[in-house]
Structure 1
Amino acid sequence: MYLNSTSPTPESCEAVYPDLASAIRCVREQWCELHGYTEPFCRNGVWWVFPPNGVIPVCIRDVMNSDKGQWVRIGRVSVAILPDGSFAIAPKSTSDRTD
């Protein structure tokens, strides 16, 4: 479900989460599992993980190699969340421009 080779869309959301915290936790856990990171923890609002076979934690923001978030649904709202808990920024399409 996480970071497929195809571009995710709001319509491709498979799960509906009860709240934002649950959605972020699920995205982070899936990312860690996919990339082999373990023991995520938060320090001063920044998420850290232990790399595969590593003993020194690394900041998720520094090691995630994509700005594409995972689309999740929270009630009726769909948002793209990155593994560090931030929101992915969708590029503006040409139809959104007001010039």
Structure 2
Amino acid sequence: VTMGGVGTGDLYVGTGGQRRDYTLELVVAGLAKVDQRKIDYGEAPKTLVDAQAATKAKKLNIWSIEEKKEEVKESSQSEKEEELKVQLSEIRSGNHFFFHVVGDEANKVME
């Protein structure tokens, strides 16, 4: 369980022959959903994806609430690109480096 209260991974109840997949039961009941990233990357089990699709079609529990679709805001003319001069201060690896903006007053505060 993450700090935000999100459960990740498999959840089983019982032991031995009475062990059952509680994750599947939650998805079938419409009380949980499969992470979309797992579905996109093909990492989610087919049984969970199929169960979610069936539950979504029946509009059970969490799927009974219609999701508001956010409109994608097209870039407006008021947003403009700005060119800045930067000075590299340290390169640690190919994708990890530090820089500061030339002429920025914040740099003087740190010195």
TM-score by length of 1: 0.26
Q: 1 or 2, which has the higher strand percentage?
A: 1
Q: 1 or 2, which has the higher helix percentage?
A: 2
TM-score by length of 2: 0.24
Larger Rg belongs to: 2
